[in-house]
């Protein structure tokens, strides 16, 4: 089991996680907002294009809710590297807007990682999920 990664955040900011996203040989550095209230991971349009994605290459449409309910989105799979943890495959709703942060939600970021917030101390700890045999 890998040691947890500790990430500090200020009292005035939301908890963002630095990570690398990769798609077909293209890699970018990004910061994702951990959102325990979001069901899906959301990729802003600009980050998708930086990874070389072409909107018309993706034909699985997803329906977003909340303040993104009027934004078109498409399903994409990306490889994500966080710290020294093994690379994981994450699914995203690639939103056709750049007016949204990179969101890390339940499907499937929070299913791939264990996370514990220590909000009063302005940090969180993150580690890959444990397999059933190590629980």
Q: Per residue in 23-50, pLDDT tens?
A: 999 999 999 999 999 999 999 999 999 9
Residue 8 included in any domain = no
CATH number at residue 101: 2.40.70.10
Decide if 80 is inside a domain: yes
Structure tokens at 76: 């994409």
Q: What is the pTM of this model?
A: 0.92
pLDDT tens-digit series, residues 53-80: 999 999 999 999 999 999 999 999 999 9
Residues 6+ away with beta carbon under 8 Å from 50: 26, 28
- Terminal Cα-to-Cα distance of the chain (whole angstroms): 11
Residue 5 lies in a domain: no
How many residues are recorded in the chain? 135
Write the pLDDT tens digit of every residue in 5-24. Answer: 999 998 788 889 999 999 99
Give domain status of residue 10, yes or no: no
Task: Reply yes or no on whether the pLDDT at 98 is more than 60.
Answer: yes
pLDDT value at 131 more than 80: no
Number of domains within the chain:
1
Mean pLDDT to the nearest integer, 82-95: 97
Structural domain boundaries enclosing 65 = 15-127
Strands (E), the chain: 5-8, 16-23, 26-34, 42-43, 61-63, 72-81, 88-95, 103-104, 113-118, 123-128
The Cα 43–Cα 39 span in angstroms is 13
């Amino acid at each position: 089991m890998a040691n947890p990664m500790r990430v500090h955040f200020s009292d005035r900011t939301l908890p963002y996680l630095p990570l690398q996203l990769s798609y077909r040989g293209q890699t970018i550095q990004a910061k994702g907002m951990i959102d325990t209230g979001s069901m899906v991971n959301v990729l802003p349009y600009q980050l998708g294009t930086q990874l070389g994605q072409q909107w018309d290459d993706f034909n699985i449409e997803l329906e977003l809710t909340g303040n993104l309910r009027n934004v078109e989105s498409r399903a994409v799979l990306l490889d994500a590297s966080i710290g020294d943890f093994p690379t994981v495959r994450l699914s995203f709703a690639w939103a056709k807007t750049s007016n949204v942060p990179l969101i890390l939600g339940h499907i499937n970021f929070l299913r791939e990682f264990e996370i514990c917030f220590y909000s009063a101390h302005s940090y969180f700890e993150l580690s890959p999920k444990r397999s059933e045999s190590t629980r």
